[in-house]
Amino acid sequence: MNTVGIVDYGMGNLYSVAKAVEYLGAKAVVSSKANELASCDRLIFPGVGAFGDCMQALAERELDEFLRMAAQHRPFLGICLGMQALMETSEEHGQHGGLAILPGRVLPFPEEVLQDSGGRLRKVPHMGWNQLHQLAAHPLFAGIPQDAHFYFVHSYYVEPAHPDLLVACTDYGFPFCAALAHENLFALQCHPEKSGTAGLRLLGNFLQWNGDCGGSSCGID
């Protein structure tokens, strides 16, 4: 059976993700132990909360170095904070170093974009349904319509250092990175496990994905 390791570091919708994975016919292994996660066919790195707390929790469980290695060798999906932690740095409540698996940084929404054309302030966190605009072909987008709605909850966003990492954006006063990909790694700012039919389709695509991004438009050289 297809086994999916779900990284448990004390932060995230672990059991919502596990329930979605099992609904789709795979075995979910929720664990904080590197040796148990290492035996799985693919990994999901979910999360909600603060970046600094995330990095501390990963270090305490000795999962930080495991994730750096695991992200190179098997299909890997980062969700929300699990996407942000892949970056080099974050400005959330001070400066923090990330896993540096991908080049880029995590930034607060700029104040100048938080006022809409009617003079009303957009709320932070960005919370609720918004459209995912695909910028590059990827196997995880198979069968998902352009501009399908996904569910978001976040106060900071990812700015990848290399434009070829960006595979989808979402608009919240300005277009920000909603999904990025490199080789066997895919990451989303939104929550597919909370995103209805489109989210389940993306997770189902991940369960069938062999880690090949399917074209030179995906990732960096």
Q: What residues are labeled active site?
A: 80, 191, 193
10 Å Cβ neighbour count for 185? 26
DSSP state of 120: P
How many whole angstroms separate alpha carbon 64 and alpha carbon 70?
A: 10
Residue 155 is encoded by which pair of tokens?
């106060």
Residue 179 is encoded by which pair of tokens?
């999904």
DSSP state of 194: G
Instruction: Classify 116 as helix, strand or coil.
Output: coil
Residue 205 is encoded by which pair of tokens?
């695509």
Closest C-alpha among 8, 28, 19 to residue 192: 19
Q: What is the DSSP string of 39-76?
A: TSSEEEE---S-HHHHHHHHHHTT-HHHHHHHTTTS-E
Residue 98 is encoded by which pair of tokens?
């990330």
How many whole angstroms separate alpha carbon 59 and alpha carbon 68?
A: 12
Q: What is the DSSP string of 87-100?
A: SSEE-TTS-EE---
